[in-house]
Chains A and B, each alone.
Chain A
Amino acid sequence: MKKAGWFFVLAIAVLMVLPVAAQKTELTFWTWRPEDTEKYEKLLATFEKQNPGITVKITAIKNTEYNTILSAALSGGSGPDVFQSRAYGGLETFAQSGYIESLEKWVPELKNFSKVALKGATSIKDGKIYGIPFATQTLFVFYNKNIYKELGLKVPETWDEFLANCAVAKKAGYQALANGGKDGWTLEVMMGSMCPNFYGANDFYDAVVAGKTTFQDPRFVSAIAKLKELTPYMPELYMGVSYTDMQSAFINEMAAHFIGGSFEAGYFASQNPKLEFDVFPGPTAQKGDPHYVSVYADGNFSMNAASKQKEAAAKLLRFFAGKDTGDFFIKELQQVSTVPGVDTSASPYITKVLSLQKYSTPYVFLVGFRYNQPTGSTLIQAALQGLLAGKIDAAEVCKQVQEGIATYYEPFKKK
């Protein structure tokens, strides 16, 4: 009897506690930026203050393992309520598998986002929006202002001026370019920064996506050949120079230029606060031509289609689509937020990046050709390694890319 009595006491206690607990909603949120976890916690604290009763538990997973872990969790039905999702092809994988909720009806703010940003969050299959884009990235050239001052250099406009600056820097004992070729993706970034002005930016992009031309178009071949002209200014044994080597060369003021993406700035500034750097867009053939930069959406915030707390998740997503998050990206992360109408005056760097985006073109292989294997990125990265190592020429690079993509890309098959 005594035992049964205890049981009732416990049962009643549990029943009394349960409804209280149920009022609190705990959302789970996953990010691939472990380095930014603390910053995100601050942002989410703001959200929790604005939405009493909802708490958010943040889980950060290493960038390179994120996709694998997320897809395992989602297909096992145990994924987070809200998570960072990749843009373009990386989003398509999850969206077309039915793991992501389409957001039009949950987040009305999406209407105000720019088309370019939304493209990375839109499925090419059904045209629905599966995420809230959080940042755009722009590819261009970082330069060390002190080295430029010391050598009396001016920001180059044309390709020849750029090479001339490189030659001066090299002669003065600096690495003219920090860039190496060990990590293939840094070569794709180099292509994205340097080539659009030579292959005809958006004209070529639209034509090649529509299948009206191919990657063996003479414009594209000659643009790729330009990259080869940079090799004399790359570091010694550049094929062995990895991404981290590149970063440390620029951060330690050993290199005058770093061809890279807008995402680098935060890291540069935090690693060497004394480093004075600025950016300029890829040089053009002639003075006065518009300088195009490759731009792409970095990623999105998405909702798990199997979430049991969609109302609360939608609240978090609307928060991610709002000003607080926009400011957070600019001030805390030094990223170009896609939230419309965010004040960028606090950061001259981001104001500059946005001004360069005036002439923007999609980052060709990521935006257009990352939906099937072998992706355009895989192909160009490997082929560019061949080019810079001197194993193949530009025509062969373009041939390999074209043939690889043509194995699945319908508009190319008709040719």
Chain B
Amino acid sequence: MNKKTTERLWILFFIAPALAVVCMIILLPLFMSLFNSLFSWKQLIRQDFIGLENFRKVFFTEPYRTRFFNALRNNGLWFIITMLIQNVGGLLIGYFLSRRIWAHEFYKRIIFIPVLFSIVAVGFLWSLYLRPNGLVNGFLKIVGLPNWTRAWLGDESIATFSIIFVNIWRWIGFPSLVFLAAIDNVPMDCLEAAWLDGASDRQVFFSVILPLIVPSILIITVLTIIGSLNVFEQIYTMAGLDGSPNFSTDTIGTLFYRTAFGSVDSGNPEIGIGSAIGVIIYLLTFLASVFSIVALGKKEVEL
């Protein structure tokens, strides 16, 4: 056995277990759902090959179409609001922490703690806080704003926003820390040069720091896209599988789960359609990843 073959065997030896796991629990189910989405189903039994019929149903026939685009719109809402509030907020927090404001180490930890919480626990606790007679409404009454009390999770027009808010509360520490690390990594000589030239803090932020942390912004953006497409647990714990009330919090994640597995109170599984939705989620996520690789590759050359 020559040296090269030995080396290759060793590499294979180290990669094989991970590769096997990835194949078994990621690639195989992926192709199974792609496969399943091309068949018609009679309850839990696979029937005939029908090509892209299930996809056509999802996009063009009722009642699937309304539900799918309603869910997709909510995913869009998740992305936009998370970008605007969580990531912009995270950037600001990261910036202030990097300025070493008073007790910044303390703030850093406080802000990051919710990221470590279990998503299910957060959903459960906040759904208690957001009850009609829960903590949030109680607080509003105490501070003299009784008109602001709402059925936060039961009102169609605000339920999605409430859940997004909870998720932002939970997750904002993550972009904050990423941006903090990125800003701390901005070379000191760039900043000193800017200050010597008499740039204001604002100019330094927008003209020096921001362009230099674009890779981090891109990473966070891509993670937000992927996160927004995969929203599920938050809805499941706070609103239930049906995207209650009146489908106003439905996302493609809950729609997928409900369609493929059925929900206890109200539905039977339609595995073909469910698989098709699963494949669509996968494709969208895949596109986001490709975008991130291409965009990041370009930016890295710049630096």
Contact = CB atoms under 8 A, between A and B. Distances in A.
A366 B4 CA distance: 67
Nearest to A380: B266
Contacts of A180: 132, 154
Interface string A225-249: 0000000000111111110010000
B266 A370 contact: yes
Interface in A84-101: 89-90, 92-94, 96-99
Contacts of B152: 240
B42 interface: yes
Contacts of A66: 264
A389 interface: yes
Given A68-B261, A182-B154, A407-B63, A240 B266 contact: no
Contacts of A373: 259, 262, 267-268, 270, 273
B130 A240 contact: yes
Nearest to A186: B265
Contact of B44 (A75, A238, A378): A75
A403 to B, nearest CB: 7
Given A239-B245, A241-B132, A371 B268 contact: yes
Contacts of B149: 237
**Which among B132, B133, B155, B259 has the greatest number of chain A C-beta atoms within 10 A?**
B132
B268 A377 contact: no
Nearest to A239: B154
Contacts of B266: 184-185, 188, 370, 375, 377-378, 381
B151 A240 contact: yes
Interface string A384-403: 01100101000000000001
A71 B41 CA distance: 14
Nearest to A381: B266
A375 B246 contact: no
Contacts of B155: 239-240, 389
B267 A378 contact: yes
B165 interface: no
B150 interface: yes
A260 interface: no
B43 interface: yes
Interface string A203-237: 00000000000000000000000000000000111
Contact of B45 (A97, A238, A241, A407): A97
A358 B240 CA distance: 35
Contact of A90 (B42, B133, B244, B268): B268
A133 to B, nearest CB: 18
**Which of B43, B130, B150, B246 is packed against the most chain A CB atoms within 10 Å?**
B246
B48 interface: no
A240 B42 contact: no
B132 A404 contact: no
Nearest to A376: B266
A375 B268 contact: yes
B153 interface: yes
A183 to B, nearest CB: 7
Interface in A278-318: none
B114 interface: no
B154 A378 contact: no
Contacts of B42: 96-97
B256 to A, nearest CB: 13
Main secondary structure of the interface of B (DSSP, over half): loop
B269 A93 contact: yes
A182 B245 contact: yes
A118 interface: no
A383 interface: yes
Contacts of A381: 242, 244, 265-266
B73 to A, nearest CB: 16
Q: How large is the interface on B (under 10, 10 to 19, 20 to 34, 35 or more residues)?
A: 35 or more
Contacts of A183: 240, 244
A372 interface: yes
A107 interface: no
B189 interface: no
A65 to B, nearest CB: 9
Contacts of A391: 156, 246
A374 interface: yes
Contact of A383 (B154, B246, B273): B246
Nearest to B260: A68
Contacts of B246: 382-383, 385-386, 389, 391
Contact of A374 (B154, B265, B267): B267
B247 interface: yes
Interface string B233-244: 000000010101
Given A93-B262, A97-B42, A383-B246, A71 B269 contact: yes
B131 A245 contact: yes
A184 B151 contact: no
B277 to A, nearest CB: 12
Contacts of B247: 382
A152 B43 CA distance: 54
Contact of B268 (A92, A99, A188, A382): A92
B62 interface: yes
A389 B259 contact: no
A409 to B, nearest CB: 12
A190 B63 CA distance: 25
A385 B245 contact: yes
B28 to A, nearest CB: 15
Contacts of A93: 43-44, 262, 268-269
B131 A240 contact: yes
Contact of B151 (A74, A238, A386): A238
A192 interface: no
Interface centre among B131, B153, B154, B266 (most CB of A within 10 A): B266
A71 B268 CA distance: 12
22 contacts: A64-B264, A67-B262, A93-B262, A96-B42, A180-B132, A181-B245, A182-B151, A183-B240, A184-B245, A239-B155, A240-B153, A245-B133, A370-B267, A372-B268, A373-B259, A374-B267, A377-B267, A378-B266, A381-B266, A385-B244, A386-B246, A407-B62
Interface of A: 63-64, 66-68, 71, 74-75, 89-90, 92-94, 96-99, 180-185, 188, 235-242, 245, 370-375, 377-378, 381-383, 385-386, 389, 391, 403-404, 407
Which 10 residue pairs are nearest across A and B when measured between Cβ atoms? A240-B151, A239-B154, A240-B154, A237-B132, A377-B266, A97-B44, A385-B245, A237-B151, A239-B151, A185-B265
